[in-house]
Amino acid sequence: MDDFFVVCDSEQKCHQAMLYMKQLCDDLGVPLADEKTAGPIGCGAICGNQWFQYRSPDGVLALNPPIAWHEMVPIYLSCVVWGSQWRGKRLEFYHDNQATVAAWKKFSSPHKGLMELIRRIYFHAAKNNFTLRIMHLRGVANAIADSLSRSQMERFRTLAPRPNHSPETIDSNLTKSRQSLYMQNDKWIESSTT
């Protein structure tokens, strides 16, 4: 089993429904793909031969941000890591999450944390004078970034054309984003301390 599609009226109910579905599959002996059960804990990106891999800190995972937030993180980190190299460029990012692509295109999301990341991406684009658009790409066609996010380094090195031996260095705490987010009454809100 590869995917579940769950529609609920709250994130908490969706999370409970997913746990129920996983338990049901377990009880019935239906195997789940490992990458689907691992959850959104990491990401990766590649630009030319440069690449990075990132694991969300436990403090961020404990906040249980929406999946679209996790999916926007590699785009934000790419802008932080490589933005100065992109001066005057027009870039296309390929992403396998349609909700993330839609939030970018509309510059709108009900999640304050996701909007904070989008604003930070726009800031880096303006600061470094580049433009970007995010296009949807089916997950199966996004194998290089997918292999990085799942820490499948042998697969990554097979798929990627001559990547550098070592990854780019990243602030492992996502400090600024973490300071701007916190949970209150099961809703994402923007901190007033930023």
All CATH 3.30.420 domain ranges of the chain, comma separated, are 39-190
Do strands 181-184 and 187-190 pair parallel, antiparallel, or not at all (unpaired)? antiparallel
For residue 182, the model assigns a pLDDT of: 42
Question: Do residues 76 and 87 touch, judged by C-beta distance below 8 A?
Answer: no
Helix (H) or strand (E) holding 14: helix 11-28
How many beta carbons lie within 10 A of that of residue 116, not counting itself? 23
Question: What is the chain's pLDDT, residue by residue, as a tens digit (194 residues)?
Answer: 345 555 555 666 666 766 777 777 777 776 655 444 445 567 888 888 888 888 877 777 777 788 888 888 889 999 989 999 999 999 988 887 888 889 999 988 888 888 888 999 999 999 999 999 888 877 656 678 778 877 888 888 888 878 888 888 876 445 444 444 443 334 444 443 33
- As a whole number of angstroms, the distance between CA 164 and CA 155 comes to 15
C-alpha R_g of the chain: 17
- As a whole number of angstroms, the distance between CA 61 and CA 80 comes to 21
- As a whole number of angstroms, the distance between CA 67 and CA 19 comes to 15
pTM for this predicted structure: 0.69
Which of 3.10.450, 3.30.420, 3.30.360, 1.10.150 would CATH assign to domain 39-190?
A: 3.30.420
